[in-house]
Amino acid sequence: MPKYSGMDRQALRDKLLSSTLPRGTPRPNNLCGFGELGDFDSDGPSESLLERLRSDVGEQRVPELQLAIRVNPLAYHVGEPIRIRFSNTGPCFCTLVNRGAHGHYTILRNGNQPVAAGEHEFPEAGGMAKVTEPSGIEEILLIGSLQPIRWDEIATPHAPPLTVVSVRYEVRPGSRVFGKK
């Protein structure tokens, strides 16, 4: 091996290792150690992670935490207001995510603040959410954990368990005409 500026192999190795100290918080990547995940977003989960969580709907991974979610009615016309109701049997951290008819996800409520046990509504009193295009089947995921949800750690073995429940509803094109038979 050639010498670099008078350094032998061990000295070069030591110099290289000391100059490549990790910066920031390492993000676990189970495929190849620590590093950036391809579609990781520090503000929330990636769409691929949400698709994986969506496949876990109905699996009770946190036995002491029961979650339920509902919308009523189960069909809306574009422009109509929607209220999402959810309940939890104990204090937890809950995230609400909408999977639109186009297949893209939108975080409705981030799970970084604790939620007391009981019945809850989104949007909260005084708020309004309206159904938007495109028409088709949409799904709301409720993701709950007993600990704050750290999206960058979900795929690791030491991540806290999550419980995921969902409700689906239909978005119909156009607006409903009231007063007609």
DSSP run (H or E) holding 164: strand 163-172
Residue 61 counted as domain residue: yes
Q: Which residues contact 19 (CB under 8 A, 6 or more apart)?
A: none
Residue 17 counted as domain residue: no
Provide the H-helix boundaries in the chain.
9-19, 47-54
Residue 26 counted as domain residue: no
**152 in helix, strand or coil?**
helix
Residue 10 counted as domain residue: no
Residue 71 counted as domain residue: yes
Residue 118 counted as domain residue: yes
- Supply the range of the domain harboring residue 48: 39-172
Using a 10 angstrom Cβ sphere, with 0-12 exposed, 13-18 middle and 19 or more buried, the burial of residue 66 is middle
Residue 116 counted as domain residue: yes
- Tell me, what CATH number does 68's domain have? 2.60.40.2550
Q: What is the pLDDT of residues 9-45, one digit of tens each?
A: 777 666 665 555 554 455 554 444 444 433 334 457 8
Residue 3 counted as domain residue: no
Q: What is the pLDDT of residues 107-145, one digit of tens each?
A: 999 888 899 999 999 998 888 899 999 999 999 999 999
**Which token pair is 98?**
């909408």
> Number of folded domains in the chain?
1
The letter for the amino acid at 92 is: C
pTM above threshold 0.75: no
- Whether residue 92 is predicted with pLDDT greater than 90 in this model: the reply is yes
